[in-house]
Amino acid sequence: MAITKKKLVLIGNGMAGVRAIEHLLKLSPGSYDITIFGAEPHPNYNRIMLSSVLAGGADMQEIVINDWDWYKENNITLHTGHRVTKINTERKKVTSHLGIEAAYDAIIIATGSNPFMLPLPGADKEGVIAFRDIHDCEVMIDASKKYKKAVVIGGGLLGLEAARGLLHLGMEVTVVHINRYLMERQLDEAASRMLQRELELQGMKFLLQKSTTSIKGKRRATGLAFTDGTEVDGDLVVMAVGIRPNVELARGAGIDVNRGIVVDDFMQTSVSGIYAVGECAEHRGIGYGLVAPLYEQGAVLAKHLAGVETAGYTGSVTSTKLKVSGVDVFSAGRFEESPGTRALKIQDELAGTYKKIVIQDGKLIGAVLFGDTSDGAELFASIKKGESVAGREKEILLGISSDLLGQSSGGNRLEAMGEDEIICGCNGVSKGTIAEAIMTKGCNTAQAIKSCTKASASCGGCKPLVEGLLTLYAGDSLGEQVKEGICGCTSHSRDEIVDGITKMRLMSTKEVMNVLGWRNPEGCTKCRPALNYYLGMLYPEEYVDEKESRITNERYHANIQKDGTYSVVPRIYGGVTSPADLKKIAEVAEKFEVPMVKFTGGQRIDLLGVKKENLPKIWAELDMPSGHAYGKTLRTVKTCVGNTFCRFGTQDSIGMGIRMEKAFERLNTPAKVKLAVSGCPRNCAESTIKDLGVIAIDGGWELHVGGNGGIKVKATELLTIVKTEDEVMEWSSAYLQLYREHAQWNERTAQWIERVGLDYVKKALEKREDRLALMARIEKTLSLTTDPWKQIVETAELRKNFEHLTGEQSMQI
């Protein structure tokens, strides 16, 4: 007799809730039918790494914790872009704002928190935002392209990270803080002043002890006004002044709420069968915002739901170890001096380090570290244990060596740490989890630990501790340090992989991973698309493209938006269209009630807000090639009017641009590629910040390469000067194929040329026979491609016919 599974609904697709699900799947696989609702259109990602996204150090794929495939592999029904608006406790159902319903036997509420927006006059103006999610990052990146000055309200961790990202984007940044020094919750004044000096050297400006009265400007913010009568200018205002638990859903369901959702030691709310974890929960009057306590809550809840005997959650002693704009800081416990305490400090201005420990009744109760945080875990363990440090104060202040990993007269501190001590705060990995991986799973290198536990997979700050645990537990089986490969699944570099594929004629991603010894036999979201590209580039005639190895946008041939709808961009060659095509686009937009029709920066028309189920119908009725606004392909060829109309034009830039776009459309490349053709040196098409830019001059054309107009703006370098349009095509084809064959996956041309050097490119293309050989290979590849919009339309037609014949409903595309 089949066992009926219980229905579990997780409301919130963030770090705390999904971590609880991960534990539950390990403890009791198959015991629940799991449905997850997430308000954002993304899989579970590491919110701690948003500052890296803003600063350009990581992209969305790199901060994903569990990719789309993880949900499928664990039979989890996922609704992204769905905000749950109602919990019906009588019918035991939840409903999203888009009308999706799900029945439940148990609910985990993990709705997190909302950024606190100061109720200032002008707070509703354009250009005033918080810094909380991917969308906020996108708004800031977009603003940095149009405006120069930013003001961040809040000198805490989040505010400083936002400021550093904006500074990296090229904006002038001023941080406004109401207190007399920065990060007062995590640092004492001495460490804070050292941090401020470091950040000022990076280019940040600070206005301390300032209280804002209003946000200036009419429609858009132009700055702030303060209570002391002074002002500061800013075209973008970022509020980073705190968070509030997101409790409205729980309150509407009749669940007890104080500041957060009230829970007991097993994370049970006042309503039977409904639990809460994370920033939205309040346990024994305390709400936690750091990731380690939230993971501890999730572990207790998972055991409870799995029926595993466990002690309840009793609260957490918190510590903060983080990197603020490239500077390491750590704090734990009660680090401020008070009557009855004794503080010992050591400060090295030359080395930029500071250490303070606070002792009461012979016990270590608090610590602050700046610049060198290697002692943090050992100090935190001592604080939590409440052990006596009498007689060892000087040794603790001066003698805890990161080389010895905390060995002292008290023995090896890593060995003395409790099994539940968190080693990796970013991913909530405990000492016990790492020890188990080393001793029972054969994970005997830092890379193996990262792969199987995720410890050190984010900021990397815990890597010395991971290596210390390896030394402690692996013994003679300690493996040699393995060099990093294209991802954590392999130690092989791009060149080694391509060489292996070529020499052994490997013809599928599975074959590559098997033969080349992938640590993860299924690969990941980083390596699968890369292998798919390399195989297609090497064997354009024989290799069959693996759709499942492409990202979501490429599979649907449209860009997913923050609300879960899609953006459809048809190809408009060189930015030149016709009345007939304009009419067709308008009719489609009206028929499918497209919420927004926008002209893009690449001289195209974007249909925004398209529902997924309408994508095949829209492409069929448009009957136009895809503009590939979603893929690692040629995106656009921007043109000016050239000598067709402009009195300054020296060549036919429109004709040249259309010729290039028609030649290279559908070309798969390691990263997105943008081209431009300007009809004279006035450069109206912005050719000098494109991957390949062509500029007309008297009697010829200049070819510029390696530009980038994105987060890291980079001007092009002159590749060559030619006389004819045919020569433009010859050099452009050869250059693009050279890039295709030698760049790493996801490496833009600007990064590629910076890595290999322009001289390498010039030398590779200087002989005409070499250029013609490259040109022949790119033309062969292009001759084998078809526009993917036709495939999605044809697939939809086949399924429609099948449903008509059988009366069955097939899955969505």
- Does pTM surpass 0.85? no
Torsion of CA 10, 14, 20, 25, to 10 degrees: 80
Q: Which of 527, 460, 525 is nearest to 493 (CA)?
A: 527
Helices 615-622 and 788-806, axial angle in degrees (round to 10): 120
Give the CA angle between residues 227, 230, 234 to the nearest 5°: 105
Q: Which of 63, 270, 67, 235 is nearest to 140 (CA)?
A: 235
Q: Which of 404, 393, 536 is nearest to 465 (CA)?
A: 404
Question: Is the domain covering 6-114+245-306 a CATH 3.30.572.10 domain?
Answer: no
The domains spanning 6-114+245-306 and 128-241 adopt the same CATH topology: yes
Phi-psi region of 443 (alpha: psi -120 to 50; beta: other; left: phi over 0): beta
Cβ atoms of 180 and 188 within 8 Å: the answer is: no
pLDDT < 70 positions in the chain:
1-3, 55-59, 321-326, 399-413, 416-418, 420, 425-426, 458-461, 476-477, 479-484, 552, 562-563, 711, 787-813
What three-state secondary structure class fits 807? Answer: coil
Distances (CA, A) of 51 to 134, 275, 470, 733: 10, 30, 30, 38
Query: How, if at all, do strands 77-80 and 84-88 pair?
Result: unpaired
How many Cα neighbours within 13 Å face the side chain of 288?
A: 25
User: What are phi and psi for residue 275, nearest 5 degrees?
Assistant: -120, 165
Q: In the prediction, which pLDDT does 81 show?
A: 93
Give the count of beta carbons closer than 10 Å to the beta carbon of residue 243.
17
Q: Which of 666, 542, 558, 701 is nearest to 622 (CA)?
A: 558
What are 291's two structure tokens? 């990731």
User: What are phi and psi for residue 4, nearest 5 degrees?
Assistant: -75, 125
Give the count of beta carbons closer than 10 Å to the beta carbon of residue 63.
18
What are 453's two structure tokens? 């536990």
The b-or-e profile of 738-777 (16+ CB within 10 A means b, else e) is bbbbbbbbbbbbbbbbbeeeeeebeebbeeeeebeebbeb
Q: Give residue limits of the domains in the chain.
A: 6-114+245-306, 128-241, 494-550, 554-783
128-241: CATH architecture? 3-Layer(bba) Sandwich (3.50)
Q: How far apart are CA 637 and CA 576, in angstroms?
A: 11
Q: How far apart are CA 151 and CA 170, in angstroms?
A: 13
Query: If 0-12 CB within 10 Å is exposed, 13-18 middle and 19+ buried, where does residue 31 land?
Result: middle
Which option is the CATH number for 554-783: 3.30.413.10, 3.30.230.10, 3.90.1490.10, 3.10.20.30?
3.30.413.10
Q: In the prediction, which pLDDT does 527 show?
A: 87
Q: How far apart are CA 687 and CA 671, in angstroms?
A: 18
Q: In the prediction, which pLDDT does 226 show?
A: 96
